[in-house]
Structure 1
Amino acid sequence: MKLTEFDSNKKAVINAEDVVNKIEGCPETIVTCFSKKIINKAVEIYKPEVIGFVHNANGDIPFYKLNINGKRIGLIMSMVGAPAVVSQYEDLFVMGVKNILVFGTCGVLDKSIEDCSIIIPNKAVRDEGTSFHYAKSSDEIYVNSKALEKMIEYFNKRQIKYVSGKVWTTDGSYRETAKKVKKRKEENCICVDMECSAIAALAQFRNKDIGQFFYAADNLDSERWEPRSLISDVEDDMKTKILNIALELAEKLYL
């Protein structure tokens, strides 16, 4: 099976440093999410400086520098899907980034988890392909290995409600069948996403600090799929609050 052919050699035939240049004055810490709407809101609020772009065939993604309490924090929109986001983060590391805090939506496998509530993953089921190029073959991988305790401490101190548990990371967003959902619930997964396990493997392989958390969206723990805020603007104010939480958390973790 090809997914068992992990090679620990840090050098590949093509590497990010072969196509990407370092950015002078690049913030070492960045906050990122997958929602263009949230990134646009951050740009509207903080009026950041554009310091570069991540280039790809779908278009150029602006890389911003914010000044938060006199400290430099980077901001960029993450690409959706494990292969895309891992390649993007590889580029960012070459540009000068050392620490990443990423947040995004997830589907819940436990209907008691409320819409837009915070989820901190501590483990991920590796049901995607990218992570197997960055870590030996296994069913699961630890998430937030460097940041977990400090993240939990922050949310407790700020009295922000959260749950922590295992996430199911999958490449097949339209292949989350009832049978698979049932099996993942039996494996104690509380949510599902498309990038977490691959990002965790990247962090481990490159020895980088990448903190990850989710805000809950659609519910798969019901007879029929419940989209909740995934496809609506009903919780936009809450999502702006989550953006500000992420910026504050990044400052506490890394600056």
Structure 2
Amino acid sequence: MLKKREYPILEFDTCKKSFTEPSELIKPIDIPECCVITFFREVVEKKNENGELKLIAELKSETLTIPVYETMYEGKRVALTLGFVGAAASAAVFEELIAFGAKKFIVCGGAGVLQKDIAVGNIVLPIAAIRDEGLSYHYLEPSREVEANKHAIQVIENEFINDGIKYIKAKTWTTDAIYRETRDKIALRVSEGCVTVEMEAAAFFAVAQFRKVILGQILYGGDDLSGEAWDLRNWNSRKDTRENLVDLSMKICLKL
């Protein structure tokens, strides 16, 4: 019997089987075991327009449909799809990709930076995420942080080093509430070692642990939250950075 707690978010259920299991609702398909989830829609659209992608599935919700594609990278099959912004939605997409049959994942996207010296486009490798969202508490027992997969971190680091890519290895802050990132809360997260803030990492890490699949994440520095005022820095217009990061993610995913 599940014990009632003071706050519902702390009522973690150790039962592994859900009332609605993705594997019972979704039939496996011929999907590559390596899958890149990106938040750079324009990169995926460009690859599709260039004839590089083949549609293999669709993830449908009440508000939109997310296509799942197959592409080739250096002669090997890779799945490519878009993340759904926010922890809960991205976790649902992730669950369904696992149910389809994918087993190894790299997620790439942007993040707000919490340190002024992190320039737009600087690469960040998150090793853990502060769990300031709700989704992860349904997959793992309550804790302050959730760690990224160590094997994925090592593979990503090796590739960065081999390719001479400079990067920052640190914690990230995952929050649901983009309009409640207060100065005091930002200062607290910085004191805990976070250099970025985003909306999905803790959820991805938690689901990956629960489902026993490999997932790593790569972030690049976007808008700046470290000063007195928010600075957009035109982070989402850096097309070359975003395209290169998707290709790099495919390369790394095949090595997991």
Q: CA deviation at 1:209?
A: 0.2
Deviations 1:195-238 (A, max 9, x none): 001110111111110111101100111111110133x52x1122
- Are residue 4 (structure 1) and residue 10 (structure 2) matched? yes
2:234 aligns to what SS in structure 1? helix
Alpha-carbon distance between aligned partners in 1 of 2:173 and 2:65, rounded to the nearest angstrom: 30
Deviations 1:94-146 (A, max 9, x none): 11111111111100001111101110000111000000000000111111333
Paired position in structure 1 for 2:4: none
Deviations 1:39-95 (A, max 9, x none): 212323452111111111112211111122221100111111111011111111111
Deviations 1:150-202 (A, max 9, x none): 11111011001110101010000111111111111111111101000111011
Alpha-carbon distance between aligned partners in 2 of 1:148 and 1:212, rounded to the nearest angstrom: 8
Task: Answer with 8-17 or 127-136: which moved more.
Answer: 8-17
2:206 aligns to what SS in structure 1? helix
> Pick from 232, 252, 255: which aligns with 2:255?
252
1:252 aligns to what SS in structure 2? coil
Paired position in structure 2 for 1:51: 56
Alpha-carbon distance between aligned partners in 2 of 1:203 and 1:218, rounded to the nearest angstrom: 27
Q: Could you tell me whether the CA contact under 8 Å between 1:100 and 1:210 is conserved in 2?
A: yes
> Pick from 235, 239, 251: which aligns with 1:236?
239
Q: Could you tell me whether the CA contact under 8 Å between 1:41 and 1:240 is conserved in 2?
A: no
Paired position in structure 1 for 2:206: 201
Alpha-carbon distance between aligned partners in 2 of 1:251 and 1:96, rounded to the nearest angstrom: 15
Alpha-carbon distance between aligned partners in 2 of 1:34 and 1:118, rounded to the nearest angstrom: 15
Alpha-carbon distance between aligned partners in 2 of 1:182 and 1:11, rounded to the nearest angstrom: 39
Alpha-carbon distance between aligned partners in 2 of 1:41 and 1:228, rounded to the nearest angstrom: 23
Q: Could you tell me whether the CA contact under 8 Å between 2:40 and 2:242 is conserved in 1?
A: no
Alpha-carbon distance between aligned partners in 2 of 1:9 and 1:219, rounded to the nearest angstrom: 41
Q: Which amino acid counterpart does residue 183 of structure 1 have in structure 2? A: L
1:228 aligns to what SS in structure 2? coil
Alpha-carbon distance between aligned partners in 2 of 1:39 and 1:249, rounded to the nearest angstrom: 17
Paired position in structure 2 for 1:13: 19
Paired position in structure 2 for 1:32: 37
Alpha-carbon distance between aligned partners in 2 of 1:162 and 1:123, rounded to the nearest angstrom: 15
Alpha-carbon distance between aligned partners in 2 of 1:102 and 1:219, rounded to the nearest angstrom: 21
Q: CA deviation at 1:244?
A: 1.6
Paired position in structure 1 for 2:95: 90
2:226 aligns to what SS in structure 1? coil
Q: Could you tell me whether the CA contact under 8 Å between 1:63 and 1:75 is conserved in 2?
A: yes
Q: Could you tell me whether the CA contact under 8 Å between 1:144 and 1:212 is conserved in 2?
A: no
Alpha-carbon distance between aligned partners in 2 of 1:118 and 1:45, rounded to the nearest angstrom: 27
Please report the RMSD computed on the Cα atoms of aligned residues, expressed in angstroms. Answer: 1.3
Paired position in structure 2 for 1:210: 215
Task: Answer with 220-229 or 42-51: which moved more.
Answer: 42-51
> Pick from 159, 166, 183: which aligns with 1:178?
183
Q: CA deviation at 1:7?
A: 1.4
Q: Could you tell me whether the CA contact under 8 Å between 2:155 and 2:252 is conserved in 1?
A: no
TM-score, length-scaled by structure 2: 0.94
Alpha-carbon distance between aligned partners in 2 of 1:43 and 1:71, rounded to the nearest angstrom: 17
